[in-house]
Structure 1
Amino acid sequence: MSEENKHRATAAAILPLVGGAANVTSVAHCMTRLRLGLRDRSLVQEEALKALPAVMGVVEDDTYQIVLGPGTVARVTPEFEALVEAERADAPEEPAAPAGGSDPVTAEELAAQGAALRAERKARNATPFKLFLRRIANIFVPLIPALIGCGIIAGLNGLLVNLQWLPAVTPALAAIASGFMALIAVFVGYNTAKEFGGTPILGGAVASIIVYAKVADVEAFGQHLSPGQGGVLGALAAACLGVYVEKRCRRWVPESVDVLVTPTVTVLVSGLATLFGLMFLAGEVSSWIGDAADWLLAHGGAGAGFLLGGLFLPLVMLGLHQALIPIHTTLIEGAGFTVLLPILAMAGAGQVGAALAIYLRLPRNTSIRTTIRSALWPGFLGVGEPLIYGVSLPLGRPFVTACAGGAFGGAFVGLFNQLGTDVGSTAIGPSGWALFPLLDGNHGLAQTIAIYAAGLIVGYVAGFVATYWFGFTRTMLAELNAAPDEPAPASAAPLATEDRVAEKV
């Protein structure tokens, strides 16, 4: 089967298991996940979905997220969208419901209603802060592929320059690697307006002011502006202001002149505010973020690394990691790399080490061991969702010990930052082994790679040791290692029987 047919087959297998095209309200994807808006989540056949060979796991959030892995998700998504459109085009109109009485409600229908109510309650419980962070993530996530591609090219160019190879080619590579970063504010402005309900091109137009060379002729707060001052934070603020102005204009501008007045007023008002306020303020905030990161790692590198590496998985579970995306981007824009990502990537190393310990501690649990075998290699490459949601989190204690592994790995990398050796990444998105091509620092690529690799090893070992010795109670081990035809011990805690864990896996 060709690659194209394989991805089409994956999309075709997923569609009926999520309730068909009629149940799909939106389709998008990020680095690893197919993100679906669904009308009724009770129609999802989750166990059958998880059983598909291409599916590494599922995550329920504001969207229903199917983990397919990097590369695969970008190829499956357009096939899935095409199938949704085709099925909608071929679907006959539904007849109106007959008047009068209805059939008795079945137990299955009651269960479906209960699932829908649970989903509705979960949606109501979404806090405004978390929803805001998701919207911020929606602005930056589409930029990640370009950040990765340009970051790898920048690393390759740096290597060629240091080796003094291909001197006629390196200027071209430098231009290719730097072009996107020079205009990233425009893309941020475009996506911001799109996300918050404005006209995307107007958001890009307002944000483009920040990178225009002639802003150096403008004086604000007693000093001349610099092209790019404020960066992505300034673009974010400028585009948000543009959306607000645009929406206000549409309330009072007559339709006959809307096409002339609204864009003009939006760009003019937002542009003046950007030049005489937002660029300066955002520039100060960007400088503070860079200085704060440098100070944090210079004065408390090991301790800061321990906390960051240990808390990153819980932050992911709570959705709070999305607040770090603009910070990473700001650091990359200012210093050329983010020193936070290699530390946070240690959380994945702790997760891998914990999975290896679980595999050895549960020799008779074929269900969990099978899941680990299939999810371990994606885990090494930085795709941690299958191990998190399929193994450690359902088991409980191993999730905590995996965090401990990430903490020790983060402390190791943070220590070297404290000693003056910056270990950074030129892009966000990848972690684990996939981060190697994006590494950069202030003491040469070889030393940076060596420190990061050693940090991964520390994370693996710490996660393994912590989980092997402290990840299970005796009751859990007895219960989870029980043969399928053996009864669980009577004193076993009801939290993690083999059947229940197998269902979650």
Structure 2
Amino acid sequence: MKYQTFNEKIIRLVGGKDNVQAVVHCMTRLRFTLKDRSKAQTEELKDLDGVIDVVSNNVAYQVIIGTHVNEVHGELISMLGLTSVTEENQEKAKKNPLKAVMDLLSETMTPVIEPIIASGLLAGFLSLFSITGLISADSPTYQLLDSIRSAVFFFLPIFIAMSCAKRLKASPYLAVALAAVLVSSSINDVAGLSIFGIKLPQMMYANSFIPIILAVWFMGQLTVFLNKYVPKFLQYFLNPLLIMVICLPVTLLVFGPIGIWIGDGIGWFFEVLHNTFGSWIVVMLYAALQPFLIMLGAGNFMMPLALNFVNKMGYDPIFLAAATISDIAVSGAMLGYFLRAKDAKQKQLFGTVSFSALMGVTEPAIYGAFIKFRRPFIAVMIGGGLGGLFAGLMNVKTYSIVWGLMGLPSYADNQDISNLVFMIISVVIGFVGAAIAAFVLGIPQEEQAITKNELEAEAKNQAVDLRKVPLGSVVEGKIVPLAQIKDQAFSTGALGKGIGIIPTSDQVVAPISGEVSAVFPTKHAIGLKTEQGVEVLIHMGIDTVELDGQYFDTIVKQGDKVTKGQLLSTVDFDGIKKAGYDPTVIVVITNTMDYLDVIPAAQEDIFSEDECLTVIL
């Protein structure tokens, strides 16, 4: 581990493992809950290389180490054998049940996508090789390679169990054991089974995912219950046995049937939709609107639905084909902008993101160009919608869980050549339609004007721009010198030079264009990094990490691209004050030592059009 030696010294100086009850972190510091603070060697800890300062107060024992605290904390809790409380706090912050379920499904599917894509692509190429006669479907080579595909999908419940166990507070190994039992030849699709005299329905657990997610959720709840009531000296031996003996019958009697009913319900809904309107409308809408879903962080929501279709019907009639058409339409839209653009830098941007979208990675295009120029969304709605409409009308089927240009061969599975041809036509329609629409719609005039003005300003002020980077105001209010901030880590300048603002507005905006480098789970702090390398920390309030996200509505996430003046968070500062916390917004340049100076604004009051800091390069 990168910080193992550093963490070993911290553990020793806070009084050892046995003295640490809990440890969480915010943007810059580790917050220890110690059983006995007198055992901590505070002065020695302050002198430790890598520690900026130590603050001990009624709130917590705080070790300030800087903005890389997240990496240090991750290794520290592993060495201490503790659970990440920040993860638990993040769970508490998700109060919307529907959002929590969607987040669970999305985050569960993300790590499982890797083997699924591998098996899906392999199935596509094997089908293509079989059609062209390169490999016979009856040959040992074909059957051995095809076993990769069949094994991944047969044992899908095991992958799902491993992926979601930790998030649902269950042991990953017990969750995998339960999944392995469900897909074993003794239970999977076996008729006539019974337990405790109760007859069990014949169930196919292989290839499924809903029953095991429900079962692992129950396992997590049972684990918490047993850890609370079973004596500690018996837990190691007794808890695993009780968990398995209780979870298996409950899964077979309750969660298995519920999971199958949910799957059948999803199938029934889309069957009604198909019989009423035709599935073409869903394919068309998803192909047209997928970029919006990706922008909202819901890009993976279709994966469980596609899996359910493949398990029930042997193919997906909607989502995977629509996703492929949409991705390639994004590439077409960026090609249209590439052909239309005159500025060399813009051409480079559009060409790069067009190629990445063609390969199935659309996030660079969506966050790098779509959000800024807006009209490409319309181009994809036109091109992707037309391609999706054709695919829906031709009843294009996706036989494997795969999408993107490389997955096209899979559409010829089961010797269905016409299906492959219709899919290729759909993709071409989406690509060409979006490219033409983007070229005709063009780059907004205001963006062209901005580019022109920027080039003129660069020509006139190149020498000045090379010497300084101005930061706009993050919030309107009254300026407070950093030395007066009631937090030693900031007031001493240990975390870098900066400024404090007592807010009179509830909107916190980006002081400069760049990338969101960090958003703390409790939403009270945001990190930004500019193209010049300036690292900005925006800390909203003092000790507001304890509010666990209350009063904060932060709308950006790590990795987002933001522009100067863009809204980052809406904060109820009055609520923060009523809760007894200091609402001062602190802005510091955490890599101050890399620059000649950081100069704060001189005026008392600051407004949205003002500058709060100037970084001298």
The TM-score normalised by the length of structure 1 is 0.66
Q: Establish whether residue 344 from structure 1 lines up as the match of residue 319 from structure 2.
A: no
Instruction: Evaluate the alpha carbon distance shift between residue 159 and residue 230 of structure 1 in structure 2; reply closer, same or farther with a 3 A threshold.
Output: closer
AA in 2 matched with 1:218: L
Structure 2 contact 328–431 (Cα < 8 Å) conserved: yes
| Structure 1 counterpart of 2:364, one-letter code | P
Kindly provide the amino acid, as one letter, of the partner of residue 216 in structure 2.
A
Change (3 A) 1:209 1:141: same
Q: Secondary structure at the match of 2:394?
A: helix
Q: 2:411 aligns with which of 414, 425, 439?
A: 439
Q: Does 2:261 match 1:284? A: yes
Percent identity over the alignment is 19
Higher relative contact order (CA 8 A, sep 6+): 1
Cα displacement (A) at 1:478: 4.8
CA distance in 1, matches of 2:50, 2:452: 52
Aligned residues: 385
In the alignment, the residues of structure 2 paired with residue 174 and residue 475 of structure 1 have an alpha-carbon distance, to the nearest angstrom, of 54
1:234–1:282 contact (8 Å) kept in structure 2: yes
Does the C-alpha gap of structure 1 residues 353 and 150 become closer, same or farther in structure 2, counting only changes over 3 Å?
Answer: closer
- Which amino acid is 1:465 matched to? I
Q: CA deviation at 1:300?
A: 1.5
Residue in structure 2 matching 1:173, options 145, 153, 160: 145
1:292-441 alignment, distance < 5 Å: 292-293=269-270, 296-297=273-274, 299-339=277-317, 340-364=319-343, 366-417=344-395, 422-428=396-402, 431-440=403-412
Q: Are 1:92 and 2:49 an aligned pair?
A: yes
Partner in structure 1 of residue 173 of structure 2? 201
CA displacement, residues 404-461 of structure 1 (integer Å, 9 cap, x when unaligned): 32222211211111xxxx3205124xx431222443556x343232222211111112
Amino acid at match of 2:331: V
2:83 match:
none
- The question of 1:254 aligning with 2:225 is answered no
Higher mean Cα deviation, 331-340 or 160-169? 160-169
- For 1:191, the equivalent position in structure 2 comes to 163
SS at the partner of 1:320? coil
How far apart are the structure 2 equivalents of 1:500 and 1:276? 55
User: Which position in structure 2 is the counterpart of 1:273?
Assistant: 250
Query: Are 1:457 and 2:436 counterparts?
Result: no
Q: Show structure 1 runs of 5+ residues with no match.
A: 1-14, 16-20, 23-37, 42-90, 100-108, 110-121, 488-498
Among 131, 139, 155, the residue aligned to 2:124? 155
Is the alpha carbon distance of 1:362 and 1:160 closer, same or farther for their aligned partners in structure 2, counting shifts above 3 Å?
Answer: closer
Is contact 1:413-1:452 (8 Å) kept? yes
Q: Match for residue 182 of structure 1?
A: 154
- Write the deviation string for residues 99-157 of structure 1: whole angstroms up to 9, x where unpaired: 9xxxxxxxxx9xxxxxxxxxxxx999976444543332222222222112222333344
Once the 2 structures are TM-superposed, how far is the Cα of residue 201 of structure 1 from its aligned partner? Answer: 1.0
Decide whether aligned partners of structure 1 residues 276 and 93 sit closer, same or farther in structure 2, where only a CA change above 3 A counts: same
| Amino acid corresponding to residue 286 of structure 1 in structure 2 | G
User: Is residue 448 from structure 1 mapped to residue 419 from structure 2 by the alignment?
Assistant: yes
Distance 1:152 1:206, change over 3 A: same
Asked if structure 1 preserves the Cα contact closer than 8 Å seen for 2:330 and 2:362, the reply is yes
Distance 1:368 1:39 in 2: 38
Distance 1:253 1:333, change over 3 A: same
The residue identity in structure 2 corresponding to 1:263 is P
When residues 346 and 39 of structure 1 are mapped into structure 2, their CA distance, relative to the original with a 3 A threshold, is farther
- State the alpha-carbon separation in 2 of the partners of residues 126 and 345 from structure 1: 31
Choose between structure 1 and 2: higher helix proportion: 1
One-letter code aligned to 2:180? S
Cα displacement string for residues 350-369 of structure 1 (whole angstroms, at most 9, x for unaligned residues): 212221222233313x2221
By how many angstroms is 1:173 displaced?
Answer: 3.0
For residues 383 and 98 of structure 1, what CA distance do their matches in structure 2 show? 45
Aligned to 1:495: none
Greater shift in the superposed pair: 469-478 or 195-204: 469-478
Q: Which has the larger radius of gyration?
A: 2
C-alpha separation in 1, matches of 2:367 and 2:242: 49
Contact 2:165 2:172 in 1 (8 A): yes
Structure 1 Cα separation of the partners of residues 389 and 373 of structure 2:
26
Query: Taking structure 1 as reference, are residues 294 and 161 closer, same or farther at Cα in structure 2, changes over 3 Å only?
Result: farther
Matched residue type, 1:183: F
- Provide the rounded CA distance (Å) in 2 between the counterparts of 1:154 and 1:374: 29
Change (3 A) 1:425 1:372: farther
8 Å CA contact retained: 2:127, 2:413: no
Instruction: Judge conservation of contact 1:190–1:202 (CA < 8 Å) in 2.
Output: no
Q: What letter matches 2:49 in structure 1?
A: P
Once the two structures are superposed, the pairs formed by residues 20-99 of structure 1 within 5 Å of their partners are 40=27, 92-94=49-51, 96=53
Which residue does the alignment assign to 2:102? 133
Letter in 2 for 1:356: L
Residue 355 of structure 1: SS of its match in structure 2? helix
Structure 2 CA distance for aligned equivalents of residues 214 and 350 of structure 1: 47
Quick check: 171-180 or 140-149, which moved more?
171-180
Instruction: Tell me, yes or no, if the aligned pair for 1:348 and 1:384 is still in contact at 8 Å.
Output: yes
Counterpart Cα distance in 2 of 1:212 and 1:161: 31
Instruction: Flag the 1:460–1:363 CA change in 2: closer, same or farther, 3 A.
Output: same
Work out the CA distance in 1 between the residues paired with 2:93 and 2:183. 40
Report the residue type matching 1:435 in the other structure. G
RMSD: 3.8
Q: Which amino acid aligns with 2:174?
A: L
Q: Cα distance 1:413–1:458, how it changes in 2: closer, same or farther (>3 A)?
A: same
Question: Which letter does structure 1 place at the counterpart of 2:193?
Answer: V
Structure 2: which 5+ residue stretches go unaligned? Answer: 8-24, 29-47, 57-65, 67-89, 459-511, 515-529, 532-560, 563-617
Alignment CA distance shift 1:387-1:358 (3 Å): same
Q: Would you tell me which structure has more strand in proportion to its own residues?
A: 2
**Pair 1:39–1:406, CA change in 2 (3 A):** farther
Kindly provide the amino acid, as one letter, of the partner of residue 422 in structure 2.
I
Alpha-carbon distance in 1 for matches of 2:446, 2:144 = 62
